[in-house]
Amino acid sequence: MPDHQDFLTLTPLGGYGEIGMNCTIWSTATTSVLVDCGLMFPDDYLLGIDVVIPQFDHILRQKEKVRGIVLTHGHEDHIGALPWLMPWLHVPIYGSRFTMALVEHKLREANLLDRSELVVVEPGQRLALGDMVFNFFPVCHSIIEGFGLGVETPVGRVVHTGDFKLDPNPIDGHSTDLDAFRRFSDEGVQLLLSDSTNIERDGHSLGEREIRDTFDGIFRDATGRVVVTLFSSHIQRIQEVFDIAAKYGRKVAVSGRSLLNNIDIARDLGFMRVPSGVYMDPQDMPALPDNEIVLLVTGSQGEPLSALSRITRGEHRSLAIKEGDTVIMSSRFIPGNARAITRLINDMYRLGAEVYYENFRNIHASGHAYREELRTMLETVRPRFFVPVHGEYRHLVKHCRLAHECGIPQEHTIILEDGDPLTLLPEGIRKEPRINLETVLVDGKGVGDVGSSVLKERQILGGEGMVVVFLVLDEQIWEILHGPDIVSKGFIFEAHYNHVLEDAKCIVLDILENMSPGDLEKLQDRIRSTLRRFFRKVLERDPVVLPVITMV
């Protein structure tokens, strides 16, 4: 670490080389600021894990230097890990009005609100935190009130785009303030950090206006009810649904906790204008003809407990999909959810609905800039150094290549992964040795107590099941007082395969007969290994075998 010298060190705790869990420490000699504090939803192989969060040890070790947490926007992958950090770190949190409202809701639910200081910052405001000054530039994204950051540091200016896109023809001024980026950059930017999510997509992203036109056409032609599902934080698109519904004389009933909640917040803050009489309770629906109804529901990822899944399975209190419904699924399918989503779509077709989804033109627009927009950002900021963020490794590689095309020399583009600190110095840039960083798995209230050995056990339990063998032995002479009994879980239908379990009991008796008393551990080992071999042979399965032997 440099001494007696100006520097800025960026320490990525998450979001570099992966999409999700964005979290970076910005440190100077006197000041540290955490930029974003997101979570990640687990991959399928993380059995039973609810969410994944960054390891905070590194920021907690420099507590006294930390001046605040700056949030770029309110998506879960940028704010979701706050409930696990705030109990340990008492610093103000800064962000836009809408972002702060979402954070307030989140921290209230976690009973952490009273000990947190939430500070709203406005676009254009200059926020001094220690020896850094943060400037906030409005950016267009799939959530309202996102910010890009222009940071004045002791070693020069740094720009962080946040998650952004350029919508050249936006609705209601939801656009990226490219001029603000340009003005800040005109004094020279040392380093640019830029969103890499869609670097693999050529050209420009779709504008929200196109989506609105698509919706308008579908609403216009629908003769029955229209059912819309989308990401519940996409306030702008939710507004469009209300507007188009009003245009075609339809009422909107909303179902799903996160949608209701976000609409409440957005209306309270004046970010949504719902035409009077359009927003109604699902309970009142039956009274209206189908062509005056819109259902706005959660569940765009096929989540089994979401409103859309429940109304498709017929498990919703008051709503059900029926013949003549037109369903709009306005979101990207996250790959891990593809099978659940297509199952849901097929089920809706079985019920006689028509479904417009990903494969329909202009039904969804990404919130992240495509290649040519990323080029525009590079050309606007014209940084000396470039670090691609918010992407998987291949995205970072390709974003660096784009930077090279824009004239940034190869040795001035740096790929960082989580745990790779980078130090900006007056004379240049330096990669620091990787810090030891593990992602933290959250399972219920347990934080970090589920690690690879527990996951490995879950994998075997989940794939092969478990067999418990129990017997009671006389301690002196190792005579069986009770058992062996065998209970299995997730292994086989015991009724069908009773003979296998009976054979297993005989094997245990055999083992006992051929062992001299005394070594309990050896007995357990032998039961385990012999039964595993037996099950592999007769069933080609390898369950967890747990021998429970009691001596009395």
Q: Which helix (H) or strand (E) element contains residue 371?
A: helix 371-381
Rule CB under 8 A: is residue 63 a binding residue for a copy of itself?
A: no
Q: Is 347 annotated as a binding residue?
A: no
Q: Is 50 annotated as a binding residue?
A: yes
Binding positions for a copy of itself, 256-295, rule CB under 8 A: none
Bridge-based pairing of strands 146-153 and 156-160 is antiparallel
Question: From CA 233, how far away is CA 242, in angstroms rounded?
Answer: 15
To the query of whether residue 195 is one of the catalytic residues in this protein, the response is yes
**Structure token digits, residue 133:** 């000054």
CB 65 within 8 A of CB 32: yes
Q: Is 90 annotated as a binding residue?
A: no
Minimum distance, C-beta of residue 443 to a copy of itself, in the bound complex (Å): 6
Please choose, out of 115-123, 205-213, 316-324, 462-470, the segment that lies near a copy of itself by the rule CB under 8 A.
462-470
Rule CB under 8 A: is residue 48 a binding residue for a copy of itself?
A: yes
Minimum distance, C-beta of residue 453 to a copy of itself, in the bound complex (Å): 7
Q: Any residues with CB less than 8 A from the CB of 531 and at least 6 apart, and which? A: 467, 469, 504, 507, 508, 545
Rule CB under 8 A: is residue 533 a binding residue for a copy of itself?
A: no
Q: Is 141 annotated as a binding residue?
A: yes
Please choose, out of 274-282, 286-294, 311-319, 446-454, the segment that lies near a copy of itself by the rule CB under 8 A.
446-454
Q: Is 316 annotated as a binding residue?
A: no
Minimum distance, C-beta of residue 35 to a copy of itself, in the bound complex (Å): 24
Rule CB under 8 A: is residue 525 a binding residue for a copy of itself?
A: no
Please choose, out of 284-292, 331-339, 402-410, 502-510, the segment that lies near a copy of itself by the rule CB under 8 A.
331-339
Measured over the CA atoms of residue 33, residue 379, residue 175 and residue 359, the dihedral's sign is: negative
Q: Is 3 annotated as a binding residue?
A: no
Please pick, among 58, 160, 368, 399, the residue that the annotation labels catalytic. Answer: 368
CB 93 within 8 A of CB 82: yes
Rule CB under 8 A: is residue 314 a binding residue for a copy of itself?
A: no
- Single out the residue of 336, 407, 409, 426 in contact with a copy of itself (rule: CB under 8 A): 336
- Single out the residue of 131, 213, 303, 457 in contact with a copy of itself (rule: CB under 8 A): 457
Determine the length of the chain. 552
Task: For residue 391, list its beta bridge partners.
Answer: 16, 18
Q: Is 368 annotated as a binding residue?
A: yes
Q: How far apart are the first and last CA of the chain?
A: 62
Q: Which helix (H) or strand (E) element contains residue 430?
A: strand 428-431
Q: Which CB sits closer to a copy of itself, 515 or 546?
A: 546
Question: From CA 446, how far away is CA 454, in angstroms rounded?
Answer: 12
Q: Any residues with CB less than 8 A from the CB of 196 and at least 6 apart, and which? A: 374, 388, 389, 390, 391, 395, 396, 398, 399
Please pick, among 36, 167, 195, 420, the residue that the annotation labels catalytic. Answer: 195
Q: Is 412 annotated as a binding residue?
A: no
Rule CB under 8 A: is residue 112 a binding residue for a copy of itself?
A: no
Rule CB under 8 A: is residue 346 a binding residue for a copy of itself?
A: yes
Question: From CA 132, how far away is CA 30, in angstroms rounded?
Answer: 10
Rule CB under 8 A: is residue 76 a binding residue for a copy of itself?
A: no
Please choose, out of 99-107, 173-181, 381-389, 453-461, the segment that lies near a copy of itself by the rule CB under 8 A.
453-461
CB 234 within 8 A of CB 266: no
Q: Is 490 annotated as a binding residue?
A: no
- Nearest-5° Cα angle at 81, 461 to 271: 125
Rule CB under 8 A: is residue 499 a binding residue for a copy of itself?
A: no
**Burial label, 458 (beta-carbon count in 10 A; 0-12, 13-18, 19+):** middle
Minimum distance, C-beta of residue 73 to a copy of itself, in the bound complex (Å): 24
CA 421 to chain centre: 23
- Single out the residue of 203, 445, 477, 518 in contact with a copy of itself (rule: CB under 8 A): 445
Q: How many residues form the binding site for a copy of itself (CB under 8 A)?
A: 67
**Structure token digits, residue 177:** 């303030």
Question: From CA 74, how far away is CA 64, in angstroms rounded?
Answer: 26
**Burial label, 299 (beta-carbon count in 10 A; 0-12, 13-18, 19+):** buried
- Answer whether the bond into residue 484 is a cis peptide, omega within 30°: yes
Q: Is 77 annotated as a binding residue?
A: yes
Question: From CA 408, how far away is CA 386, in angstroms rounded?
Answer: 8
Q: Which CB sits closer to a copy of itself, 453 or 514?
A: 453
Which residues does the annotation mark as catalytic? 195, 368
**What residues form the annotated binding site for substrate?**
232-234, 364-368
Which residues in this chain contact a copy of itself in the complex, by CB under 8 A?
A: 17, 43-44, 47-48, 200, 335-336, 338-339, 342, 345-347, 349-350, 355, 359, 392-394, 397, 443-446, 449-451, 453-455, 457-466, 468, 470, 472, 481-483, 485, 487, 489-493, 496-497, 538-541, 544, 546, 548, 550-552
**What residues form the annotated binding site for Zn(2+)?**
73, 75, 77-78, 141, 163, 390
